[in-house]
Amino acid sequence: MTQPTNADPGPSGGFLAEIKDAVTTRAALLVLGVLALQLAFITSYVGAFHHPKPSEIPIAVSAPVAPVAEQSAKQLAALPGKPLDPRAVKDEATAARQIKNREVDGALIIDPAGKTDKLLVASGAGASLSQAVEEVVGRVELAQGRTFTIVDVAPAAAGDGRGLSSFYLVIGWCVGGYLCAAILAISAGARPANAARAVVRLGALFVYAVAAGLLGAVIAGPVLGALSGSIPALWGLGTLVVFAVGAITLAFQGLAGVVGIGLAILLVVVFGNPSAGGAYPYPLLPPFWKAIGPWLPPGAGTYAARSIAYFKGNDITGPLLVLSGWAVLGSAVTMACAVSRRGKAGAAVGSGLPDGPDDLDVPDPTAKATGR
């Protein structure tokens, strides 16, 4: 005799009913969100990289006679499309100092007595940028029947192909930041139940950031020889990058639940990576990406990492303030969401109503195996 079974026979309305039962409305909406995120990714990367064009690259111009430098600067400023933003300086030493201070990205040193000038570049700021300066200045010099020699005053390290190691190091730190925050959400619910839980998450994120910052700096520096510069400075930068990205991810999760992970990816990966100035520094990017890049963690981190590695930390204050702002904003929003959620939970308990849809993120530890 066949024994009865408690197995759920499932819906009896055929294949269409099976689909409706298996694919919930929430799942369908999340899949549509993933599709939108994917299309945004393609649009952002292709839009930023498909047609790099130099635009107002800051460059110094010097000559033994001041009027010659000023006249040459005016000629360079009048080039079609304004690829350069030239300014006359008094001598070669001033031009080299401005490059090392990251005030300009190149310098043309004119020799009125001959036909061979000197072009100062800084490949540590990105090989594509120094090559763009060489190409634009080369066309002008050729048209005037002149030539030039190239001097790299801030060269990239031998192991830093095309000056991209700083960019990839920062991207690795960013990935670690949002993945750590996402794991904290997956393990215990997207939204922390109270302020104490939020503090614990931020504390765990900080410990992870310290470790990730140190290990990333050591791997890129002494282990692989890809970057020079101060290891403690890179360590501090890495800690700040990881914590800033993780904190803003926790904030998005506090505001939107698990969807917040997608919002963090939209901000950091879709918009942040192509505008970071890695493959193509800011003067080579289209206006939109050039404008947002310095204000997002990947861009601020990449600029700061290059400054530490090749420019003795010059012009690093702005990027550090940007990263600190993201870290403070993310932490504050995370705490505010936790406090607000705690207040709503108390009101829900008093009214006998469920706390909210995110209660489903964390299993009820008092539930029995019977499926209550």
Q: Taking the domains of the chain in order of start, what are their residue ranges?
A: 57-152, 162-349
Structure tokens at 180: 């750590």
**Residue 5 is inside which H or E element, if any?**
none
Count of H-run helices and E-run strands, the chain: 12, 5
What's the CA angle centered on 45, arms 43 and 48, to 5 degrees? 100
Q: In whole angstroms, give the CA distance from residue 198 to residue 332.
A: 10
Q: In whole angstroms, give the CA distance from residue 87 to residue 74.
A: 8
The reported pTM is: 0.85
Q: In whole angstroms, give the CA distance from residue 295 to residue 189.
A: 30
Structure tokens at 187: 């393990």
225 dihedral zone (left: phi>0; alpha: psi -120 to 50; beta): left
The answer to whether 184 and 199 have CB atoms below 8 angstroms apart is no
Concatenated DSSP letters of 274-325:
TTSSSSS-GGGS-HHHHHHGGGSHHHHHHHHHHHHHHSTTTT-HHHHHHHHH
Sheet arrangement for strand 116-121:
84-88, 57-62, 106-109, 116-121, 147-152
Q: In whole angstroms, give the CA distance from residue 126 to residue 130.
A: 7
Q: In whole angstroms, give the CA distance from residue 210 to residue 11.
A: 52
- Domain 57-152 of CATH type 1.10.10: no
pLDDT in tens, the chain (372 residues): 455 555 555 555 677 777 777 778 878 888 898 899 999 999 999 999 999 999 999 999 999 998 999 999 999 999 999 999 999 999 999 999 999 999 999 999 999 999 999 999 999 999 999 999 999 999 999 999 999 999 999 999 989 988 999 999 999 999 999 999 999 887 766 676 678 888 999 999 999 999 999 999 999 999 999 998 899 999 999 999 999 999 999 999 999 988 899 999 999 999 999 999 999 999 999 999 999 999 999 999 999 999 999 999 999 999 999 999 999 999 999 999 989 876 555 444 444 444 444 443 444 444 444 343
Torsion of Cα atoms, 334 then 338 then 341 then 345, to 10°: 160
Q: How many CB atoms lie within 10 A of CB 233?
A: 18
123 CB-side CA count, 13 A: 17
Q: In whole angstroms, give the CA distance from residue 213 to residue 236.
A: 7
